[in-house]
Homo-oligomer: A and B are copies of this chain.
Amino acid sequence: MNFFEQTGKVAIGSRLRMLTDKVTEDGAQIYKLYNIDMQPKWFPVFYSLAQGEEKTITELARDIGHSHPSVSKIISEMLKKGYVKESKDKTDGRRNLVSLSKKGVEISKEIEDQLIDVNAAVEEISAQSQNKLWEAIGEWEFLLEQKSLLRRVMEKKKERDSLKVQIVDYKPEYQEAFRALNVEWISHYFTMEESDYKALDNPQGYILDRGGYILLALYEGEPLGVCALIKMDDGEYNFELAKMAVSPKAQGKNVGFLLAGAVVEKAKSLGAAKIYLESNTILKPAINLYHKLGFQKVAGKPTPYTRCNIQMELVL
C-alpha cells in the first residue's frame, strides 16, 4: 500500500474502497464457517428485521441507509430462501409489510454466536491499533454530514486562489489590459458602443480625472480582472460600477468575487452612499456575483448602453 502514501490524501476514496473490499471479502466464508446459509449483503436487512416489528421496504431502506430498490432486491432474494414473509398493509395498499419468517427467526438465533466472534475479532484488531477505525469512521460521518468534502475543497481552493490574487490601483501601464479585457467580453456578447471606446481609450481623462477609480486583479502578477468606479453626477456622492471584466483564463479562480468585493470596499471607504450598475441578464455569473454582494434590482435610470436590460444598486 506504499502507493497511497505517495499520492497523498486525495486517494482516500480509493484506499477506503480497497479496505472495504478486503474486509468484505471474507464475509461469505464466515457465514459458511457457522453453517449459516446467508449472504453478507442481507445482513443489514436481516438485522433490522430481527428487532421484531414488521417493516416496509422504505422503512428498511431508511433504517440501513440503502436505496429502496436495493432493499427490494434483497427482500426478494430472502423470500426465495424463506427467511422473510410479506403481507400487504390493509389500510394502505401500496405498502409491503415484511417480517422474518419462522425460519428467519431460527437463523437469527444461529447467527448470534457469529456476531460475538466477529465482534471479538474486530475488537482484537482495534486493540492492536493506535487509531480506532470504527470511531474514526463515526467522526468522518459526522464531519461530512456537517460539511461535504466538496464544500471543504471549494473553500480550500478559494483560500489558495485568494493568496494568488492581488488587488491593485490603476496605473497607466495597465491601460492596455483594461482596454483588452473589456473589449474581449463586450465584443463577444454584444458590440462595442461609442461610450465604450471613450472610457477604454482614455480611462485617465474619462474616469480618473472625473473623480473615479479603477482597480485591477493581478493573478500571479498578470492583470486578469479590471473594474471601474465612475463618479455619478446625480448630485450625491455615488458611484457607478462599470467596465468590469475578468479574463476567461481566470475562470473559477474567484478573481471576480475578490475584485468586486474590493471595489465595494473602496466605495465604502470613500464614504459613498450607493453603488449603481448596469448589466444584461444573459451574463448570469455576473448577475449572481452582484446579487451575492448585496446588489438589488432597480429600474428607471437613463442609460447610454443598448445592451443594458437590468439595473442594480447597492446601498452602502
- Mark A residues whose CB is within 8 Å of B: 1, 3, 6-20, 22-27, 29-30, 33-35, 40, 43-44, 47-48, 63-65, 113-125, 128-141, 143-144, 148-150, 152-157, 160, 251-252
Q: Roughly how many angstroms separate A30 CA and B157 CA in the complex, as a whole number?
A: 10
- Known contacts A117-B160, A160-B117; is-contact A129 B140 (Cβ 8 Å): yes
- Known contacts A16-B23, A26-B149, A152-B125; is-contact A8 B119 (Cβ 8 Å): yes
- With both beta carbons as reference points, the residue of chain B lying nearest to A40 in the complex is identified as B13
- With both beta carbons as reference points, the residue of chain B lying nearest to A23 in the complex is identified as B13
Q: Roughly how many angstroms separate A305 CA and B186 CA in the complex, as a whole number?
A: 105
Pick from B27, B128, B154, B157: contact of A143, CB below 8 A.
Answer: B128
**List of B residues within 8 angstroms of A132 by Cβ:** 131, 136
**CB atoms of A131 and B131 under 8 A apart:** yes
Number of copies of this chain that the complex holds: 2
**CB atoms of B137 and A15 under 8 A apart:** yes
- Known contacts A20-B16, A133-B136; is-contact A9 B118 (Cβ 8 Å): yes
**List of B residues within 8 angstroms of A138 by Cβ:** 1
**CB atoms of B160 and A12 under 8 A apart:** no
Q: List 19 A-B contacts (CB under 8 A).
A: A1-B141, A3-B65, A8-B115, A8-B118, A9-B118, A9-B134, A10-B115, A12-B134, A15-B137, A22-B149, A23-B144, A30-B150, A33-B153, A33-B252, A116-B156, A117-B156, A118-B149, A121-B156, A125-B140
**CB atoms of B9 and A122 under 8 A apart:** yes
- With both beta carbons as reference points, the residue of chain B lying nearest to A46 in the complex is identified as B7
**CB atoms of B113 and A160 under 8 A apart:** yes
- Known contacts A48-B3, A131-B139, A136-B131; is-contact A11 B43 (Cβ 8 Å): yes
- Known contacts A113-B160, A138-B1; is-contact A150 B13 (Cβ 8 Å): no
- Known contacts A23-B149, A33-B153, A153-B33; is-contact A44 B131 (Cβ 8 Å): no
Q: Roughly how many angstroms separate A139 CA and B132 CA in the complex, as a whole number?
A: 9
**List of B residues within 8 angstroms of A3 by Cβ:** 44, 48, 63-65
Q: Roughly how many angstroms separate A144 CA and B35 CA in the complex, as a whole number?
A: 24
**List of B residues within 8 angstroms of A44 by Cβ:** 3, 7, 11, 14
**CB atoms of A47 and B13 under 8 A apart:** no
- Known contacts A3-B65, A129-B140, A153-B33; is-contact A27 B13 (Cβ 8 Å): yes
**CB atoms of B9 and A141 under 8 A apart:** no
